[in-house]
């Protein structure tokens, strides 16, 4: 499923140019893809299994592979939110939404908001925005702080970069990622049109 979802996210433009992807938790194990490879071509034997402290449990077939640089960020969502899957998207809507400024994106009164667990139509969706760093791993501490400061969010944006989204399992994480992508796209379009909600 991890490999299949990487292919689908690549087709959506969420995991192009080797970045982005998804990790999935299976009990006490977390499966992650290799770093810096074409995510749409990742095969089952290329995957790493690690425990929730990041220790290697199952190595990939090729010893030259390294786990995704997103791994420390994925682990924060697993540990702090009991997530079952975490998606990292480089989708353009997420990236563009972060360029409109502020330390959080806020949007409300849209039907699609109901697709986020614990949210209703009238709720304000608040997605914190982190400042980007030179290396993906360096985002881990600020992502942890943002997750703690925003207990209702299922996503954290990274300026000029993308978004991390999670859910209780891969199905909910995928649904959340699709809803947030819709909201980010609408947010950018609304700013272009000069309308607000």
Phi, psi for 127 (deg, rounded to 5): -115, 110
Nearest residue to 127 via CA among 111, 105, 146: 105
End-to-end CA distance of the chain: 37
- Point out the residue whose Cβ comes nearest to Zn ion: 19
Is 90 annotated to bind a ligand? Reply is yes
> Of the ranges 15-23, 95-103, 113-121, 146-154, which one interacts with ligand L4RZE5RM (CB under 6 A)?
15-23
Choose between 19 and 91: whose C-beta lies nearer to Zn ion.
19
Max Cα separation, the chain? 52
Please report, for residues 17, 34, 192, the alpha-carbon distance to residue 63 in angstroms, rounded to integers and kept in the order given.
Answer: 22, 11, 48
Q: Is 28 a catalytic residue?
A: no
**Piece of 14-22, 138-146, 164-172, 176-184 that binds ligand L4RZE5RM (CB under 6 A):** 14-22
Q: Minimum distance from CB of 155 to Zn ion (Å)?
A: 14
**Which is nearest to 83 in space by CA: 22, 128, 124?**
22
Does 19 interact with Zn ion (rule: CB under 5 A)?
A: yes
**161 marked as part of a ligand binding site:** no
- Assess contact for 61 and 80: CB atoms under 8 A: no
**How many CB atoms are located within 10 Å of the residue 93 CB?**
21
Give the contact letters, 57-96, x = binds to ligand L4RZE5RM (CB under 6 A), - = no.
-----------xxx-----------------x--------
Crossing angle of the two packed helices 71-81 and 140-149, in degrees rounded to 10: 20
- The site for Zn ion (CB under 5 A) is made up of 19
Which residue ranges make up the annotated binding site for Zn(2+)?
A: 88, 90
Q: Which residues are catalytic?
A: 111
- The site for ligand L4RZE5RM (CB under 6 A) is made up of 17-21, 35-36, 68-70, 88, 136
Which residue ranges make up the annotated binding site?
A: 88, 90
């Amino acid at each position: 499923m991890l490999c299949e979802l990487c292919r689908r996210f690549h087709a959506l433009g969420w995991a192009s140019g080797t970045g982005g992807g998804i990790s999935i938790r299976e009990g006490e194990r977390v499966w992650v893809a290799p770093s810096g490879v074409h995510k749409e071509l990742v095969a089952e034997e290329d995957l790493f299994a690690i425990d929730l402290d990041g220790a290697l449990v199952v190595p990939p077939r090729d010893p030259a592979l390294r786990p995704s640089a997103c791994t420390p960020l994925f682990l924060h969502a697993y540990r702090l939110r009991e997530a079952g899957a975490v998606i990292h998207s480089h989708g353009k809507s997420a990236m563009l939404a972060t360029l409109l400024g502020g330390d959080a994106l806020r949007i409300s009164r849209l039907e699609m908001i109901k697709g986020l667990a614990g949210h209703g139509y009238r709720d304000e969706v608040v997605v914190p925005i982190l400042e980007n760093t030179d290396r993906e791993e360096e985002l881990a501490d600020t992502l942890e702080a943002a997750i703690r400061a925003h207990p209702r969010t299922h996503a954290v944006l990274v300026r000029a970069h993308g978004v991390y989204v999670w859910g209780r399992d891969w199905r909910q994480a995928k649904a959340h990622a699709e809803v947030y992508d819709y909201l980010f796209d609408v947010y950018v379009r609304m700013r272009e049109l000069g309308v607000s909600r």
